[in-house]
Amino acid sequence: MAEKGVFPLGGLPLGAEGTIAAVRAEGELRRRLTELGYFPGERVKKVLVSPLGDPSAYLVRGTVTAIRRQDAESILIREAGEWD
Amino acid sequence: MGLTSASAGRGAALSDRSAGGRSLPVVALAGNPNVGKSTVFNALTGLRQHTGNWTGKTVALASGRCRARELELVDLPGCYSLDPASREEAVARDFLACGQAAAVIAVVDCCCLERSLALALQILALAPRAVICCNLSDEAEKRGLRIDFALLSSRLGVPVVPCAARSGRGLDALLSALDAALADETAAPKAEYRSFLPGEGGGEASVACLAECTRLLDGVISRPVHCRSSLTERIDRIAAGKYTALPLMLALLLGVFYLTIIGANYPSQLLSKGFTALEGLIRALFERLNVAPWLTGALLDGMFRTVGWVVSVMLPPMAIFFPLFTLLEDLGYLPRAAFCTDRCFRCAGSCGKQALTVCMGFGCNSAGVVGCRIIPGEKERLAAIVTNSFVPCNGRFPLIIALSSIFLASSAAAAAGLTAAFVLLAVFVTLLVTFILSKTLLRGEKSDFLMELPPYRPPKLGQLIIRSVLDRTLHVLARAVAVAAPAGLVIYAAANIHVGNGSLLSAFCAFLDPFARFFGLDGAILAAFILGFPANEIVLPIAILAYTSGRSLAELGSYSELWNVLSANGWTWVTALSVILFSLFHWPCSTTCLTIRKEAGTKWMLLSMLLPTAVGFILLAALNGTIRLVG
């Protein structure tokens, strides 16, 4: 799945936006992410990074959620500009 | 922190009412966390159910009578969908699914309809009668959002009412819509939304549900929201900023303790003078009435003095600490604190939400233990429960502050610094013990950590003060006094019933003394900690009573008198430090123990008592051993 221009959510710079391409999480984490709007096609923006480097907070569907880097690895995104 | 009778008591009241007596139609309030559901509940019932600005605040069902209608309102815990991932979300689902509610008010947030409407659709699939309350419409207006509520209502086929529960706007319209919904005999759940109810799939129902929300909202919202409010963004630049977040957290910690110490000093003295004067008056009255000396002693020297001590030492710091803490909580700062410190909790192998339960523990460990329900993973939840009493609760702060001020610090600022240092030590030990637990007893799969960071909301100061004083301060004080009065009586009796050539109390203290001395304490202190099991607040008063039994104090509760009594009984700064450390690390109070048993079982309760006690004795042995070696 080394699709060009697709990278894990954690790699998004602070303040940048992207579009979710895939969510590879399984089970409970997948379900909870989906409830919050983390599924393909949704816009996501990194709005905060913890002063200790992890976790970061992301904006999806008007809600800001803190996600640990390890969990954010399972979410693949495209940078907004490239997509449309 | 959830330190109110609401979180504990009203769930029981609910079942009482349904069991007997006149039963009112039940209307449930459901919605995502942070949509202001509890504010709507409070506005409708007039109950001061405490609302905190964080995810998963309501952990038990609160209920209340509607002010304007003959209705029983039940406030369900906030959840994102009806697919329970943690215990509290299961509560909401079960309540809605069992059909107890005649109608449901689905509360959604105008500022993020794209997400909060999803739960409303799932509610419509289950509940025959529902009204959608679009809360925070004032905030949406401020952000320039225009929402066509009538269009949304016609698309959904249920009433959609804009509200601003904080100011009470729209509540009358909400109640009228509810009346109409309740009168509808033919109402049925919406079958077309049944497929949005989460099943066994990996979230496909949620995808479909949210996609439906997007479709429903097309043309309803003037523009899609993909930004945060500028106020929240500006505050977070500092509160969660790379270089400012941790210094700010430390400054807040210091500031809260400094204001508490400075502000509590004078009222404490005033109260203690008042109690001393009152004691004199009652004593004179008793003498005139020829009350037997033993009865005067038991009532005045035992009961009255202990109660007076507890009130004058505890009330002022609590009356300052609780409003300050509630302010931070209502602003929405606590989730930021959890966000900034999560890495420490991750390294300790625990869930980041433990930071929130630790904060709740500062108010009351029992509330903190109940709050652990917000942690989704069972093992992490147990670790958070067992370690919760490692952080000092409000019953222990007065002792820590008093002893720091008298023996260890020369100024209020230094005392505040020391108290903050003790708190940091407590948090460090919490993390250390959590780490050890996660590698041994509670080894295993780690759950994920997803935590919402709600927007900052300006608190209503008047309500905040009334609530924190009535619901928290007086609630905790009443509990302390209820324990202190009989305890004072029992201790006085023990100090005056003689066996052999000493009193029962002195015999008990003497028995404990050699053991206690090894750890830098003495028999009276250890006896006070043991007898103070019902409430940490009474530990110091019991020790004082044990030291001074039979003698009268010039001015009970004042720091100078305290110093006189304690130093006369051989206290040094080492004793004070040892007592503070033991106060931080010993068995939790009986209320907390019972709560742990209820939440996790007897085995974990015993471990929760054993672990802090072991840590306390190890620390004291190390401290006093080092001092003996050096000195």
**Pair of tokens at residue B77:** 């815990």
Distance of CA B532 to CAs A30, B43, B53, B486, B618, Å? 48, 40, 34, 12, 21
- Cβ of B342 within 8 Å of Cβ of A29? The answer is no
In a domain, B22, yes or no: yes
Q: Does A27 sit within 8 Å of B342, measured CB to CB? A: no
The pLDDT score that the predictor gives to residue B525 is 94
How close A50 comes to chain B (CA, Å)? 5
- A 17-36 residues with CB below 8 A of B? 17, 25-36
Give the domain-ending residue among B227, B256, B273: B227
Quick one: pLDDT at residue B462? Answer: 77
Nearest C-alpha of chain B: how many angstroms from A12? 16
Q: What is the mean pLDDT of chain A?
A: 86
| B427-456 residue pLDDT tens | 999 999 999 999 999 887 777 788 889 989
Q: How many structural domains is chain B composed of?
A: 2
pLDDT of residue A82: 44
Alpha carbon distance B463, B469 (integer Å)? 10
pLDDT tens digits, B474-483: 877 887 888 8
Q: Is residue B237 part of a domain?
A: no
Q: Do A29 and B115 touch (CB under 8 A)?
A: no
- Asked if residue B448 is part of any domain, the answer here is no
Its domain, for residue B364, covers 245-442+454-630
Q: What CATH number is attached to the domain comprising B77?
A: 3.40.50.300
Tell me, what DSSP letter sits at residue B497? S
Residues of chain B numbered 442-481 and touching chain A (CB < 8 Å): 447-455
Chain A touched by B245 (CB under 8 Å): yes
Chain A residue with minimum CA distance to B454:
A64
Model confidence over B178-226: pLDDT tens digits? 999 999 888 888 888 888 887 655 567 888 888 999 899 998 988 766 6
Tokens of B560: 């100078």
Residue B542 and residue B489 share a domain? yes
- Cβ-Cβ contacts under 8 Å for B127 (sequence gap 6 or more): B28, B96, B101, B103, B104, B189
Do B350 and B412 lie in a common domain? yes
> Which of these, A69, A63, A71, lies nearest to A10 by C-alpha position?
A69
- Look at residue B411 and tell me if it is in a domain: yes
| Domain-located, residue B233 | no
Pairing relationship of beta strands B130-135 and B502-503 according to DSSP bridges: unpaired
- Could you read off the pLDDT of B121-175 as tens digits, one per residue? 999 988 889 999 999 999 888 888 899 999 999 999 999 999 998 888 999 999 9
Any residues with CB less than 8 A from the CB of B263 and at least 6 apart, and which? B316, B320
In a domain, B367, yes or no: yes
- Name all domains of chain A by residue range, CATH numbers in brackets: 6-83 (2.30.30.90)
Summarize pLDDT for B400-433 with one digit per residue, the tens. Answer: 988 998 999 989 899 999 999 999 999 999 999 9
Token pair 């959609």 in the structure block, residue: B160
B206 and B144 in a single domain? The answer is yes
| Cβ pairs A/B, distance under 8 A | 133
On chain A, the residues whose CB falls within 8 A of the CB of B352 are: 55, 66, 68
Write down the pLDDT at residue B230.
Answer: 82
Identify whether the C-beta of residue A15 lies closer than 8 Å to the C-beta of residue B227: no
Average pLDDT over residues B230-254: 91
Task: Please tell me the distance in Å from B79's CA to the nearest CA on chain A.
Answer: 10
Whether B221 and B339 map to the same domain: the answer is: no
Rg of chain A in Å (alpha carbons): 12
| B190 and B135 part of one domain | yes
Domain membership of residue B240 (yes or no) is no
Residue B211 located in a structural domain: yes
What does the mean pLDDT of chain B come to?
Answer: 85
